[in-house]
Amino acid sequence: MRIRFFEQKDWDAVWRILKPVFRAGESYAFSPDIDENEARRIWIDAPAATYVAVSDDGDIFGTYYIKPNQSGPGSHVCNCGYIVSDRARGKGVASQMCEHSQSIAREMGFRAMQFNLVVSTNKGAVHRWKSLGFDIVGTLPGSFLHPVEGYVDAYVMYKTFVE
């Protein structure tokens, strides 16, 4: 597997990865009926950079974006979002993309990374981010409306790159 910059020709494959996750409404605070143009704006156009995880045979099976979490005095902290295709789940792709994004973040001059809304029911993500050095620095009670579980907590997770 290699991770590289998103290229325009990648969009159809990336949309095929994003669409079912957004439609499920279980892990991202985007409308489940988000249209393709808005998804592209959020995932490709607005971030500082977007990357794809590519198999040895050229199949795209994961993607992430990186952007400043805030503007101005908060712009030294970045934010990332990661999505892995169903067929690649459980193979360490998200962990590899997170490690890659941390290297990119440091290269871009970010001093920390923050995840604003890690849904508490997404146990795999919570465990993965903790194992990669992120701490839960806040709990947002009932802040996410899960389509099955109802109102559930979400976490703010944070990792500092400099001491």
Which pLDDT tens digit goes with each residue over 86-109? 988 888 999 999 999 999 999 999
Q: What is the phi/psi pair of residue 59, to 5°?
A: -80, 130
With a cut of 80, say whether residue 163 has pLDDT above it.
no
pLDDT tens string 5-58? 999 999 999 999 999 999 999 999 999 999 999 999 999 999 999 999 999 999
- The number of beta carbons lying within 10 Å of the beta carbon of residue 62 is 24
Q: Considering the entire predicted model, what is its pTM?
A: 0.95
Report residue 93 as tokens. Answer: 């792709």
Interhelix angle 123-131/93-107, rounded to 10 degrees, is: 50
CA distance 151 to 77: 28
For the domain with range 2-114, which CATH number is right: 3.40.50.970, 3.40.50.11890, 3.40.630.30, 1.10.630.10? 3.40.630.30
Report whether 99 contacts 120 (CB < 8 A). Answer: no
